[in-house]
Structures are given as C-alpha cells and as structure tokens.
Structure 1
C-alpha cells in the first residue's frame, strides 16, 4: 500500500493534508499518486455525513460552521471542513483565511480545516473538492462540511456532492424575497436564518415566515423531505443543536426511503462523466493542431469576422491527435 494512504487510514492529520495536496496538484506525478491513494482508500469512504453550506458573503458561514463543529466535537464526533475561498479573477490568488475565521475549531484536535481556492470553478467549490471529501472520510472523519464561496454561482454543483444542502439567510431576507435566487429555494433542504439576536430576532422570525411561504411555490428537492426553515444565532450559538437535530432527521428520512444510497450512486456516476469531459477538453486544448489554429481563430471571433460556431468546427477539424 502507498505509505501516504496507510498513514491516512490510520487517521494521521498530516498525511491527510499531504494527500489533499497531491489531489489538488496539477503535476502529472502527483496526479498519478493521488489516483493511487484514492483507489486504495475507497473501501473506507462513504460513512460520513456530507453537508453543503451556502450563503451570501457576510451571512456568517464560517461562524456557523465553527459553532456547529464545536457542537459536534463536543459529542465525540470528528469534523472535517473543506472551506473554499473566492479567487481573484485577475491573479487567481486567494486569501485562504478560513482558519483565522474559525480559530477555536482550528485548534480542536477532533477537527480538520482545509481551505482551498475556488479558482473560478463553478458552484464556488474547488476543483478537487469531491476527492478531498473522500480522503477526509477515509481518515475517519464523521462529518464533512463543504463551505461554498456563496457568490451566486451554480449551487447545483455543491448540492450534487453532499447529502444535505443548507442555505444560510440574513434576517432581512424576508423583505426582499424577490431578490433571492430561485435556485437556492429549489435546492435548499434546510434554511437557517442567521444573526437572530437582539433587535434582529423579530426580523429573523418574519424572514422565516416569508421563506416558509415562498417554499410552497417550489417542488421540494426530495420527495421524502419537506424543506425546514430555522432561526438562530451562530455568534451566540443559539439553536445550533436544533440545526443538527434537523440534519439528523433529514438523513433518517432519506435512509428510511432508500434515497440516500440512490442519491450517492447518482452523484458518483455524474462525477465520473464530469471528469471524463474535463480530461477530453484538456487533451483537446493541448493538441498541437488545436494550439496552432486557436490564436487566429480566436482573433477572428473577437473581431466579429467569423462566427464562433464556425471557429469551433475549424478547431475540431484542426485536431491532429487520434480520434
């Protein structure tokens, strides 16, 4: 067995961090080792609770994750957080400051926090989040939380890799329901109106009522679960226990109906084809004929002298590699 895989299965946090680095690396030798590690640890995956968390910047995602994480580690659970930071569209750089925002959880021996740059990936998730999630499960973590960027990208990507999709809302959301993305209400299985403390408490309750009314306009994401709206405060750590109890009830409902296993199988198959599409596109772009023809065709499309559809067809014909 790969030495890194063996240490990871023993619960070595440093080995887990190194394995995720291999997964995220673009170097060919690291990618080969990453595939080897994942293949060797697959039998140890699939046992964790997979939770997706989304919300606009400033809604308190990191604060809520820390509160929920400490609640769970207090129950003896091991918690892994895959926190995705937004990347600059110009420099591709990312601050990766989630560990500083979750200072208490970051020092908890039963928790593991891994910040990764989104680097423009749709859904506000890092390119290798799915693989990282499997490695965390193999390392023995009971709960894996995926924190998304929350900047309005396709939440479908997040929902399609977790068991339950939680959306954080601000207390004033009920006043501006028309501005809430329809996609969030269609995908969210639990909505948590955060910052329900002090003067915000009444606004939070009003927002919750408005959200509950709005949810009746959409078909639920699962036929075995009706979305639940909760209020609470991550800062004051109120109703965090209720949030976890609701997540537990969601899992029980899906497991009882056999939907959880079916959902995960479907996610795995869709993940397979997304990787195939990614690999095919990468090989196409690196083809010598395509690379040679691309600059002139891009310039013609940019100038408006050639339609993109014709340019695409010419690029496909320019490919010199095997069919």
Structure 2
C-alpha cells in the first residue's frame, strides 16, 4: 500500500532563517584591535587626558609578570610620577563580612557627590589551589561603578603577603596622574595585609561590626594601633543599640594606646552603609584628620618615609625574583631540596651554599 504524500498537520513550516549570532567582520575587527598594543606614550597621553580605558590598560601592564611589559610599565610610571601625589589615600580594612564593599560604595558615592573623583583599588583573595580570583567587587558596587567620577579596579592578590596586590603602590601613581584625588584601598581583611596597606596610605580606617563577638577581638594591639578611626558598620534596625555600645567600648579602648606621631586622636563612630546614616560623619572625621596633618607637616613627612620604605621593598622583591629566576640556581635548587629532604645537608647550610653560588655568578 502506498504511503500518502499528504503532510501531517503537525509538520513544521519553513520559517525565517535566523541570522548569524556572531558577525565575522566584527570578530576580525576585535582581533585586529587586540593585536594592536598601544605604545607607552599613547597610554601616557591617555592617562593624562583622564581616559579610564588607557588607565586600565596601563594597570594591566603594571600587574603583568612579563619582562617586556615590566619595562613598558616602568616607562609609564616614570612619566606619570610628576603628575602624582596630589590625592589623599585612604586604606579600609575589616574582617570578611563586615561590609567593606557596601561601605565603600556608599562612601564613594558621598565623595563623588562633593565633586571629588574617587579610585577604588580592591584586592581580592586568590585561590591557593587554582591561583584564580573571582574579582567580584565591581559587581557588588553596581551604583559606584556607573559613576563617571569613580574608577574601580579589582586585582587578584596573587602570592603577596595578606593579599595586598604586588603592584598596588604603582597603581596609585597611575590613578593620581589620571586625575583621581581620592584613592581608596580595600584589603582582603585576613589580618596580614594591614601593615602593607598602612605603609601606602595617609589614613587607615578599621571597619567593625557589633553583635558578632567582634568587640573583644577588636580591642587588641596591632590593628588598633594602626587605625586612625574605627567605624562600627551595619548600625541599623535592631542593631543600632549594640552598635552604640560597641562604639563606647572602642572609644574607651583607644585611650589606652600611645599617642600618635601625627598628633591625631583616633575616634570610633557608627554608620549604616544600607541607610547611609553616618557616612557624612566618617568623611568629616577624615577631612579633620587631613586638615591637622597638613598643618603640622606630618602629611609630607609620612609620604617621604613611605617612599623610602617602598624603595627598600622593591629592592628586596627584585633580589628575590632574580635569585629564583637565575638559570644556575633553578638547577641547583632542586638538588638541594632533595638533599635537605634526605637529611644529607641542613636547610641553613643549603641556603648559604645557594646564596654563595648566586653572588659568585
């Protein structure tokens, strides 16, 4: 029996052909743009012209470990240096969950509303397994990232102590040359990065929360001695009373520490990044601090000491990098590692031998 040639009512009719989801010509244009790397001078001109794209590309070069990129980055930094050092630098730290990103967004929006330009350098923790980082701060600061007078640069912490990106100091110079007069550095908040951040900022702000067993943990030397102000965040809703109590306890604790060389007396305050209550008070405290340290010349003295410190840090870092990348050391290092594991030589003797070989070569 012959099958009917009649089509079923359920058959699909020919519709309109869908266009290509990707334009081949657009792909070629993007490829050509990626192949064309801007020169150091082009990036310098872009940065001085307040171009955020040029700034981002220059920071990428600064963060790169490629030797060619390093030379190019140094040229850019040297050219930008005369246009830097015209900002105020604020370090913000606190334990994970204290609301650093939310606070920085509310604080940054307040600063830009005053006509200032703010650059946020947020250091995200890198995985010790995959060495990757989510870099989610731009997503969390969705309002600030759309502000024309703001620039947010998340960077992976890499292998640096406590999560301070290796090239944050140089990135500050580029941001200042691009016209940003307020630089905010957010630390990972794991307890080790604070010293490094403190050595590159003018004002150090410690964020705390109440009602989480954080009060006693906070009243300790070290981080408290470095802080120029303590802000108890999330002072809203049912947490207002607890935040005020924490503020009183921290203010009492601050009187137990030695006087600061700057002549500034640190204080504690409360704020809510959600309701924006107290954000203006935080800015007023910071403004009062800068008025004092610029009057008594502590501001310039601290900047000079920081520059010397970072020169020494750079020397140490470069010596370490050169040592581990030396061809002969690479070969001898594995041999000495095995000898140490097999108790054929002490770790100290092996280290001295390797250093001796390096300095003789």
Q: Residues of 2 paired with 1:213 and 1:301: CA distance?
A: 52
Match of 1:151 among 185, 190, 198: 190
For 1:43, the equivalent position in structure 2 comes to 82
Match of 2:166 among 82, 106, 127: 127
For 1:4, the equivalent position in structure 2 comes to 43
How much is the aligned-residue C-alpha RMSD, in angstroms? Answer: 1.7
Compute the displacement of 1:59 (Å): 0.3
Q: Residues of 2 paired with 1:111 and 1:239: CA distance?
A: 21
For 1:91, the equivalent position in structure 2 comes to 130
Match of 1:203 among 221, 235, 242: 242
Compute the displacement of 1:217 (Å): 2.3
For 1:246, the equivalent position in structure 2 comes to 285
The alignment partner of 2:204 has SS state of: strand
- 8 Å Cα contact 1:284/1:290 also seen in 2: yes
Matches within 5 A, 1:235-274: 235-274=274-313
Q: Residues of 2 paired with 1:175 and 1:95: CA distance?
A: 27
- 8 Å Cα contact 2:187/2:193 also seen in 1: no
Q: Residues of 1 paired with 2:194 and 2:255: CA distance?
A: 20
Aligned length: 322
Call closer, same or farther: CA 1:123–1:253 in 2, change over 3 Å. farther
TM-score in terms of structure 2 length: 0.85
For 2:263, the equivalent position in structure 1 comes to 224
- 8 Å Cα contact 2:120/2:153 also seen in 1: yes
For 1:56, the equivalent position in structure 2 comes to 95
The alignment partner of 1:11 has SS state of: coil
Q: In terms of mean alpha carbon deviation, does 275-284 or 291-300 score higher?
A: 291-300
Q: Residues of 2 paired with 1:101 and 1:124: CA distance?
A: 19
Call closer, same or farther: CA 1:221–1:148 in 2, change over 3 Å. farther
For 1:82, the equivalent position in structure 2 comes to 121
Compute the displacement of 1:178 (Å): 4.2
Q: Residues of 2 paired with 1:229 and 1:316: CA distance?
A: 49
- 8 Å Cα contact 1:174/1:208 also seen in 2: no
- 8 Å Cα contact 2:215/2:246 also seen in 1: no
Q: Residues of 1 paired with 2:182 and 2:100: CA distance?
A: 16
Match of 1:104 among 138, 143, 151: 143
Compute the displacement of 1:234 (Å): 0.9
Q: Residues of 1 paired with 2:115 and 2:262: CA distance?
A: 32
Q: Note the alpha carbon deviations across 1:81-129, whole angstroms, 9 max, x for none.
A: 0011011111111000000010000111111000000113124211100
The alignment partner of 1:199 has SS state of: helix
TM-score in terms of structure 1 length: 0.95
- 8 Å Cα contact 2:208/2:214 also seen in 1: no
The yes-or-no answer on 1:192 pairing with 2:214 is no
Compute the displacement of 1:240 (Å): 0.4
Matches within 5 A, 1:23-42: 23-42=62-81
Structure 1 unmatched ranges of 5 or more: none
Q: Residues of 1 paired with 2:238 and 2:294: CA distance?
A: 39
Q: Residues of 2 paired with 1:202 and 1:29: CA distance?
A: 56
The alignment partner of 1:229 has SS state of: strand
- 8 Å Cα contact 1:155/1:183 also seen in 2: no
Matches within 5 A, 1:149-188: 149-172=188-211, 176-178=215-217, 182-188=221-227
Q: In terms of mean alpha carbon deviation, does 82-91 or 170-179 score higher?
A: 170-179
Q: Note the alpha carbon deviations across 1:226-275, whole angstroms, 9 max, x for none.
A: 11111111111111000001001111111111000010011011101111
Structure 2 unmatched ranges of 5 or more: 1-39
Q: Note the alpha carbon deviations across 1:182-203, whole angstroms, 9 max, x for none.
A: 2110100011000011111111
Q: In terms of mean alpha carbon deviation, does 207-216 or 4-13 score higher?
A: 207-216
Q: Residues of 2 paired with 1:179 and 1:260: CA distance?
A: 27
Compare CA radii of gyration and give the structure with the larger one.
2
Compute the displacement of 1:28 (Å): 1.3
